[in-house]
Structure 1
């Protein structure tokens, strides 16, 4: 990886994606952030530049291949290469029991979490395989290895992300392309607030975490920066579970 790696982040405008962008900026990376809200994206890019990073926002919707293709092409056109890709675009969907699921609710989750990750990896890997190096970091969840009531679609989508990660890692290994995933536990984001609904339920949920708290987005971002870096150069096809011990038992 070059001294100032080129980093592409999808789903960069909120939560873990945003924290990752800031963390890479502190490492003086050259960064392309993407998402679906242009005003917020331009504000984030300006914030990253204020930290001393070369940064650009590119509007993209990972559910559509043309959008993903153009995102990766613009990244390479701007910086000449692609060293790290963080595929953070994701949604929890509408919770509910299996008996109430519909094809529409399935598509609302899987089009972003699974199709979006697949399309992103497809075009990122085209670039990385050609240059003979690169690191892709997908975002899974504690639900990528477990189940829970009323979140079956979200859990299934994150199981799929982990399967995509492991398979792509095997495909990319010979060319020096690493593919890993970070699987956060509960993190202080808007998604956690939506999933728990209120402070009482949130407190009860966090009581099940051995460290008795939610993670900070910055803690997940630190794990992303590590596993994307040369310090993790012998790690590929792995799911790094950053969850306060939630899956330890």
Structure 2
């Protein structure tokens, strides 16, 4: 069989595949949802922010993509179970997921951080990833296998001053990713993590509202600038595709060289 497209590119084709994206209402999640839809995937865009999620849905429809929006809070088990079921009900199955929803949360030294604020970060970033995979995996297995990508962070590998909850949660996401990858590799589910560096998402825009703070952050990047959401989305899309068919339990830095510095 011949093709006009080189095989390496053909393997990036996601036509007909049902993909769930959390945190799809903005930033990396939105860019990934649009990118995957543009490559033919059928998207279940999930976010707790209904307005943002609907904007993502409109952006996908504008490129003639196929998608639905589901409002869900990934810290609520029933919401997570429902979002997965809605993906299956709408598109017939679930092939993959980009578990991207997360927050930076409160900072400060450990002795100053309120326990409730610690728990909020852990609940969204780590417990949310756990709940997503708990319900995504049975649906993916029912279709014969697929791929899951979790958003960790460079903070999954290195520490940052005064961010104990965020750093701990992202270390946990990476550990959970590797464990689940090991447990399900033989059942044809690939699980990997993308580790973004400082990226200009809406959350980061708030943190970098001060030009001096932004300039310092840019200077700390070996590449000399902050990342763009679409650059993280490209890595997530590749990991979800057949082009990454032998990639299991891996962590991919997309950080402008920070991990190498």
Whole-Å separation in 2 of the counterparts to 1:144 and 1:195: 19
Identify unmatched segments of 5+ residues in structure 1.
none
- Cα deviation code 1:193-246 (max 9, x no counterpart): 333451101211221211011111111111111111000000010011000110
Q: Which residue of 2 aligns with 1:144?
A: 156
The reply on whether 1:65 has 2:73 as its aligned counterpart is no
User: Aligned runs of 1:227-246 on 2, under 5 Å?
Assistant: 227-246=239-258
SS of equivalent residue, structure 1 residue 82 = coil
Q: Distance in 2 between matches of 1:194 and 1:158?
A: 20
What is the aligned partner in structure 2 of residue 193 from structure 1? 205
RMSD, aligned α-carbons: 1.3
The CA deviation string for residues 66-111 of structure 1, in whole angstroms up to 9 with x for no partner, is: 0000000010011011112001110110111112112201111011
The one of 116, 124, 127 aligned to 1:115: 127
Show the 5 A alignment for 1:1-249.
3-196=15-208, 198-249=210-261
For residue 215 of structure 1, give the secondary structure of its aligned residue in structure 2: coil
For 2:87 and 2:201, locate their aligned partners in 1 and report how far apart those are by CA, in whole Å: 27
SS at match of 2:187: coil
- SS of 1:31's equivalent in the other structure is strand
Shift of 1:46: 2.1
Distance across 2 between alignment mates of 1:103 and 1:196: 26
Q: In structure 2, how many angstroms separate the alpha carbons of the residues matched to 1:103 and 1:95? A: 12
| Structure 1 residue 52 displacement after superposition | 1.4
- TM-score, normalization by structure 2: 0.92
TM-score normalised per structure 1: 0.96
Deviation by residue 1:167-215 (Cα, 9 ceiling, x = unmatched): 0001110110000010001111122233345110121122121101111
| Alpha-carbon distance between aligned partners in 1 of 2:16 and 2:25, rounded to the nearest angstrom | 22
Once the two structures are overlaid, the 10-residue window that deviates more, 124-133 or 149-158, is 124-133
Tell me how far 1:25 sits from its aligned partner: 1.7
How many residue pairs get aligned? The number is 249
The 2-side partners of 1:84 and 1:126 are apart by: 11
